[in-house]
A and B are shown apart, each in its own frame.
Chain A
């Protein structure tokens, strides 16, 4: 089974609108972290925001917020007031704390295009 599922391969959004990118995850660990990265066409992975499994409040970083619903195992990224520069691939990732490998497990990504 996929550990990270991003169901939106591509999205078109009007500039200045809010956008929600979906992410669901699968783990049996009690301790884990969820991350969102942005990858522009240049290829570099840019960290946006993270959420720990024990955090009760949703994380926020500027225009980015993470809508964490633990019971549903979802960690959606919300971008408020979208800008043209937000056009990029967005990846959701998870790091499990069960003593296994410490690498991140990524989803397949969502290609977000902001239209003027």
Chain B
């Protein structure tokens, strides 16, 4: 399977715990994006990477959220001290990363569904 993969697909945690999600992009893709989707809403952009550089992180929801892409391949999204309001689907997407091309198509993974009890 050469699509975007995410792990785990489902995560149930207790409030206050830390969680980490992993995303493996399509192999030749330079850009990687994280989105959050709450029930009944469209995805909300959080952050993105061009190779290993995080080029936008002002949209991260709070300082409890952080993301890394250490070698420009897979990425992790960590949420510290989870709250019930963090319950959502977390989507990862990747693209070739054609600089300045607004039509640089993003391919999405299946998502990680987080439930905070």
Question: What is A's interface to B at a CB cutoff of 8 Å?
Answer: 4, 31-33, 35, 37, 42-47, 50, 52-53, 91, 93, 95-97, 101-109
CB distance from B5 to the nearest CB of A (A): 11
Q: A43-B111, A44-B109 given as contacts; is B102 within 8 A of A106 (CB)?
A: no
Binding site for A on B (CB under 8 A): 31, 33, 35, 40-48, 55-56, 58-59, 89, 91, 93, 100, 102-111, 113
Query: Per a CB cutoff under 8 Å, which of B42, B45, B58, B93 touches A107?
Result: B42
- For the complex of A and B, the 9 pairs showing the least CB-CB separation, nearest first, are A103-B45, A106-B42, A33-B102, A45-B108, A101-B56, A97-B102, A33-B103, A44-B110, A91-B42
Contact B110 A108 (CB under 8 A): no
Q: Would you call B48 and A101 a contact (CB within 8 A)?
A: yes
Assuming the contacts A91-B42, A107-B42, asked whether A47 and B105 have C-beta atoms less than 8 A apart, the reply is yes
A102-B48, A103-B35 given; A45·B102 CB < 8 A: no
